Structure 1
Amino acid sequence: MPSTTLLTLNDRRLAYEDYGPPTAPVVVALHGHFGRGRIFAPLAEHVSTSYRIVAPDQRGHGRSDNGGDFHPDAYVADLEALLTALALGPVVLLGHSMGGVVAYRLAARRPDLVRGLIVEDIGAVTDDTAVAHPVLDVTDWPTTAPSPDAMRAAIEERGIPDATYFLHSVEHDPDSATWRLLFDPADMMRSQKQAMGDHWDDWLASTCPALLMRGGHSTLLSADMAADMVRRRPNTKLVDFPDAGHWIHDDAPDAFAATVTEFLAGLSR
């Protein structure tokens, strides 16, 4: 079982999950919008004997504090503070979606902290010039429900075909005997909008080995964008998952874990 820890960093509470041997090489895994660190538990189980997975709940997510600044630079500052507090680095950064943006922005700013970069299904441009629908409208999502099934139904009624990913961020509230979302929909709207932009300079600024993973059915990373990212950044490998969507770690968990493991093993050669 993972160890869940709460830290106070930059005057905010930040939670993280810690899996695997404490002396093993470290992978810091960053979830995307609406997620939390524990989405990487299956990956941690897959690599449990060889790597340590540190998976924070990023600001506004999971058990970390809600509210405040949601500019990507604020997420990067949290990550830098976490690595410093835990005396980690250089590490491999793995980021899904928005977490991928945070990962490659930190690699650009603090190359001394990053020895490898894994980006799961997000591009170097995240606004409506490259993505048809860069923001998921969650303004009318319920924040509580009588059960997880009721929360799933309420989310899926709002046009989400499968709410499984979002249910990672639903927990029982013993005080009200209901189930509640751990993220605030208003926070998520602000965070998504602030994440939109052209991040080419950050993507191209780092030189460490990088792995870019794209779901074949992704709506957030086009095949053309992925190919351009690999063409323009040396030392970068692209792996496509033809049957997966944006959440490769959920849609193709075994292939995802195997691809990550192969990349990590290559860094040790």
Structure 2
Amino acid sequence: MGDRHSYTTGATRLNVYVQGQGFPILGLHGHPGSGRNLSVFTNHLSKRYQTFAPDLRGYGKSHFNGNFEMNDHLNDLEALLDRFQIEKCLVLGWSLGGILAMELALRLPQRVTGLILVATAARPRGNHPAITWQDNLYTGIAALLNWIKPSWQWNIETFGKRSLFRYLIQQHTPTAYRYIAQEAVSAYLQTSPAATRALSQALQAGYNRVADLRQIECPSLVLAAAQDRHITPDSSLETARNLKNCQWQCYPDTAHLFPWEIPQQVLNDIDRWLAEHPQISQSAQ
């Protein structure tokens, strides 16, 4: 997974996964999550770029005691760019990470050369059905068995398709379940209550940055899933329509974790977009 770095800024010690050489790409994970969740992107992109995938404050190995606000993530990320002397970078964000990516572009317009926004929105809306005790039971069993024996077809058929995984993925493939076993379970267990509170408070306050998106000048790529119940494709499309220089892609028969469902298709589309916008990675570092 490349090199692991830790650095200290204020009271926070962030864990960062660094891979490759070249123009910097900052990868930001979702909730619950960790920098490791971005391996589907960083293992590929680090062949041509240098990727930085931090565990955000209160996630993964970036332990933090006490409460904090969403804005603290931005302070941490700006300090990370300074620490690694990253003058300019492309930012890739998945879900919560995409919200932070847009915030960084608004905050540091001279340093963010492009945005790749995955399953995210500037005014996030969901349509997730109510969760039953049976959902939780089947999810726990499916996750445990999948962790012990990744991609076991009997588990997928018996518990996986009846669990809450059915709202996170549509294609119950061995590849998707392998990613869930390797990266999702540990990230879920390592996400702190303080991180959950910070996100909940922002959403309850009615987070909405749609009106500010016009300030973002850099090229952006917005990728969405047609069956996403956590952040609906309609809310992602609203974001795409309000970004000036934006390409939009919505994948059928996929959900919130679609990069784990159709990784090659997503990576091919990212490569194509990067090839169409060479200026993103030509800025002097």
The TM-score normalised by the length of structure 1 is: 0.80
1:132-163 deviation line (CA, Å, top 9, x unaligned): 349999x9999xx9x9449xx9x97x952278
Change (3 A) 1:135 1:112: farther
Shift in Å, 1:38: 1.4
Q: Is the helix fraction higher in 1 or 2?
A: 2
For residue 176 of structure 1, what is the aligned residue in structure 2?
none
Paired with 2:131 and 2:67, the residues of 1 have a C-alpha distance of 19
Structure 2 counterpart SS, 1:213: strand
| The one of 223, 228, 237 aligned to 1:227 | 237
| 8 A Cα contact 2:225 2:233, kept in partner | no
Shift in Å, 1:169: 5.5
Of 40-49 and 239-248, deviating more is 40-49
1:226-245 alignment, distance < 5 Å: 226-245=236-255
How many residue pairs were aligned? 251
| 8 A Cα contact 1:30 1:37, kept in partner | yes
Of 256-265 and 100-109, deviating more is 256-265
Paired with 1:249 and 1:125, the residues of 2 have a C-alpha distance of 21
Of 206-215 and 255-264, deviating more is 255-264
Paired with 1:169 and 1:265, the residues of 2 have a C-alpha distance of 31
Shift in Å, 1:16: 0.6
1:92-116 deviation line (CA, Å, top 9, x unaligned): 0000000000010010011011000
1:183 aligns with 2:187: no
1:37-52 alignment, distance < 5 Å: 37-52=35-50
1:160-179 alignment, distance < 5 Å: 160-161=164-165, 165=180, 168=183, 170=185
Change (3 A) 1:125 1:222: same
Paired with 1:226 and 1:219, the residues of 2 have a C-alpha distance of 12
For residue 91 of structure 2, what is the aligned residue in structure 1?
93
1:72 aligns with 2:87: no
Paired with 2:181 and 2:67, the residues of 1 have a C-alpha distance of 22
Aligned letter for 2:70?
Answer: P
Q: Is the strand fraction higher in 1 or 2?
A: 1
1:140-191 deviation line (CA, Å, top 9, x unaligned): 999xx9x9449xx9x97x95227854752555xxxxxxxx92223x234303
Change (3 A) 1:223 1:63: closer
Shift in Å, 1:247: 1.4
Paired with 1:135 and 1:97, the residues of 2 have a C-alpha distance of 20
Unaligned stretches of 5+ in structure 2? 150-154, 167-176, 280-285
Change (3 A) 1:134 1:260: farther
| The one of 244, 249, 260 aligned to 1:250 | 260
Unaligned stretches of 5+ in structure 1? 172-179
Between the aligned residues of both structures, percent identity stands at: 27
| 8 A Cα contact 1:169 1:183, kept in partner | no
Measured on the aligned residues, the alpha-carbon RMSD in Å equals 3.4
Paired with 2:62 and 2:102, the residues of 1 have a C-alpha distance of 22
Shift in Å, 1:41: 1.8
Shift in Å, 1:259: 1.7
Of 253-262 and 189-198, deviating more is 189-198
1:169-218 deviation line (CA, Å, top 9, x unaligned): 555xxxxxxxx92223x234303313311122443331110111101111
